[in-house]
Amino acid sequence: MSKVVLVTGASAGIGRACADRLAGAGWTVVGASRRGTSSGAGWSGLVMDVDDDESVAAGVGDVLARHGGVDAVVLAAGWGIAGAAEHTPIHDARAQLETNFFGVVRVTQAVLPHMRRSGGGRIVVISSIGGAVGIPFQAFYSASKFALEGWGEALSYEVAPFGIGVTLLQPGNVRTDFTDSRKMSVAEGAGDHYDAAVAAAVGRMARDEADGVAPDAVARKVERVLQVKRAPLRVSVGKAAERAGLLGKKVLPDRVFTAAARRSLGVRRTAGLREPGAATRRMTE
């Protein structure tokens, strides 16, 4: 019998590519999404909202009832929010963390009891290079991915004795509808202090994503992770320059790395504006 994998976020993008590729490789694939994609190329669909406790419990229960178990889960559901951190309403920030972080936690908590009882399993979390390098004007997206990195690493220690492997997959720029569906968030009454910088940085990001790797490149990496005997904790995928950024973050002095990252991410060191009295304060410091 083929192994069973549950893929979240399977309606589009990386999740859809993973569902298609794994089904083609012989896995029994259940592709879950809030939109309720009915099916794909050789796999069945499932309506499941990762933001909702009851929906996740029912969805995972349905997979277990239909297939008798789940051998792996690929956690690809997520979305992005952009805007100045100062002007992002708290409800928007919470919504970002709710899906990208707590949605992963919910599904993992739902599948772990079965994996423990069956003596093993694989958990693949679609993180991001933005979980290691903060992305300006996407602070809460980065926060959600940084949270996944810490949580996933801690989880890997906890579940290893039960034969369960955890992998944090860190894509760089990927050509998907993620770019067009990114939400721009601005607090009511916020000034235009950041407008030009937001437009420049987000515009740069959109162009880089349009020139990114195809989602199947990520799916191929997921397939390899699920094939190996011992799952690596972290795997990156994307263009060489993006992946080099992960190494640079580890080995370069902060000042050097920050300067390079600023240029790469399209942000300026100064805003060209000074608050009243700023010059005076500098003279007296």
For 116-147, how does the pLDDT look when each residue is reduced to its tens digit (9 = 90+)? 999 999 999 999 999 999 999 999 999 999 99
Q: What's the confidence (pLDDT) of residue 270?
A: 64
Q: What is the DSSP letter of 99?
A: I
Using alpha carbons, select from 117, 139, 119 the residue that is nearest to residue 130. Answer: 139
Is residue 145 part of the annotated active site? The answer reads yes
Q: Of residues 3, 11, 33, 44, which has the active-site annotation?
A: 11
204-231 burial, b at 16+ Cβ within 10 Å, e below that, comes to: ebeebbeebbebbbbbbbbbebbeeeeb
Question: Who has greater pLDDT, 237 or 274?
Answer: 237
In this structure, is residue 54 part of a structural domain? yes
For 203-240, how does the pLDDT look when each residue is reduced to its tens digit (9 = 90+)? 888 888 888 899 999 999 999 999 999 989 999 998 88
Is residue 11 part of the annotated active site? The answer reads yes
On the 0-12 / 13-18 / 19+ scale of CB atoms within 10 A, 267 is middle
Mean pLDDT of the chain: 89
Distance CA 97, CA 126 (A): 14
Backbone angles phi, psi at 268, to 5 degrees: -95, 155
C-alpha triplet 71, 73, 75: angle, nearest 5°: 175
**39 confidence band (pLDDT: 50, 70, 90):** low
Q: What's the confidence (pLDDT) of residue 124?
A: 98
Is the pLDDT at 282 greater than 50? The verdict is no
In this structure, is residue 284 part of a structural domain? no
Is the pLDDT at 269 greater than 80? The verdict is no
In this structure, is residue 285 part of a structural domain? no
Q: What's the confidence (pLDDT) of residue 275?
A: 40
Is the pLDDT at 278 greater than 50? The verdict is no
Q: Three-state SS across 183-198? A: EECCCCCCCCCCHHHH
Q: Of residues 128, 141, 144, 185, which has the active-site annotation?
A: 141
Q: What's the confidence (pLDDT) of residue 37?
A: 64
In this structure, is residue 281 part of a structural domain? no
Which H or E run includes 5?
strand 4-8
In this structure, is residue 155 part of a structural domain? yes
**284 confidence band (pLDDT: 50, 70, 90):** very low
In this structure, is residue 283 part of a structural domain? no
Q: What is the DSSP string of 101-127?
A: IIHHHHHHHHHHHHHHHHT-EEEEEE-
Q: What is the DSSP letter of 134?
A: P
Q: What's the confidence (pLDDT) of residue 271?
A: 59
Percent of the chain having pLDDT more than 90? 66
Q: Of residues 33, 44, 127, 156, which has the active-site annotation?
A: 127
For 169-184, how does the pLDDT look when each residue is reduced to its tens digit (9 = 90+)? 999 999 988 878 888 8
Q: What CATH number has the domain bearing residue 58?
A: 3.40.50.720
In this structure, is residue 44 part of a structural domain? yes
Is residue 144 part of the annotated active site? The answer reads no
Q: What's the confidence (pLDDT) of residue 188?
A: 63
Backbone angles phi, psi at 271, to 5 degrees: -85, -10
How far, in Å, are 65, 120, 145, 185 from residue 140 at the CA level? 36, 33, 9, 11
- Mean pLDDT is highest, among 64-78, 180-194, 226-240, 264-278, for 64-78
Torsion region of 5: left, alpha or beta (phi above 0 gives left; psi -120 to 50 gives alpha) = beta
Range of the domain at 173: 4-274
Backbone angles phi, psi at 167, to 5 degrees: -130, 130
Cβ proximity of 96 and 140 under 8 Å: yes
Is residue 221 part of the annotated active site? The answer reads no
**Domain count for the chain:** 1
Q: Rounded to a whole number, what is the largest CA-CA distance in the chain?
A: 75
In this structure, is residue 282 part of a structural domain? no
Q: Of residues 44, 145, 156, 236, which has the active-site annotation?
A: 145
Torsion region of 167: left, alpha or beta (phi above 0 gives left; psi -120 to 50 gives alpha) = beta
Is the pLDDT at 193 greater than 90? The verdict is no
Q: What's the confidence (pLDDT) of residue 236?
A: 94
